[in-house]
């Protein structure tokens, strides 16, 4: 966390705690499981990406999600992904179903390499390239949403 935010100035960790704060969107006394999963997803994304912009985008998404539409169930709720899914840092976070998945991205489809280039890529490299394209797609989404947010202001 210090690499992203810097060391605490006065030995207080309040700034670090605020990184995973999901209030007022979620209340841990009303939905402890959902709140903990959401905080864990934020922290995991921060550690994986070390990207403060990705964290802020995720926090904004969480604060705007229609949590009350999930009802009183304090656990995974399938079938509501369109309202609770966000592509961030190359992963799809579904806050209703409480899942994190990699999008199915193919470097062959997204990158449009030549047949000669495809012939030179083995299965290990292909898997790695697919993952890299997946992460790039998440980054492009981040840039697009930030640009849209700036444009729409």
Q: Which pTM does this prediction carry?
A: 0.69
DSSP 6: -
Per residue in 105-122, pLDDT (tens digit) is: 777 777 777 888 878 888
Average pLDDT score over residue span 50-54: 87
C-alpha distances (whole Å) from 85 to each of 10, 11, 98 are 37, 36, 10
pLDDT greater at residue 93 or residue 3: 93
Degrees, nearest 5: CA angle 41-5-90? 40
The chain-wide mean pLDDT, for the chain, equals 80
> Does the structure show a pLDDT above 50 at 152?
no
Say how far apart CA 27 and CA 23 lie, in whole Å: 6
């Amino acid at each position: 966390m210090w690499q992203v935010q810097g060391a605490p100035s006065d030995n207080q960790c309040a700034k670090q705690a605020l990184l995973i704060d999901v209030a007022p969107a979620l209340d841990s006394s009303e939905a402890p499981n959902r709140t903990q999963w959401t905080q864990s997803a934020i922290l995991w994304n921060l550690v994986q990406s070390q990207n403060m912009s990705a964290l802020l985008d995720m926090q904004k998404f969480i604060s705007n999600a229609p949590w009350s539409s999930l009802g009183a169930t304090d656990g995974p709720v399938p079938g509501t992904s369109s309202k609770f899914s966000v592509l961030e840092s190359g992963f799809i976070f579904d806050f209703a179903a409480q899942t994190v998945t990699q999008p199915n991205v193919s470097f062959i489809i997204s990158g449009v390499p030549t047949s000669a280039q495809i012939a030179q890529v083995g299965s290990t490299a292909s898997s790695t390239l697919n993952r890299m394209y997946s992460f790039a797609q998440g980054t492009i989404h981040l840039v697009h949403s930030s640009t849209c947010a700036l444009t729409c202001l």
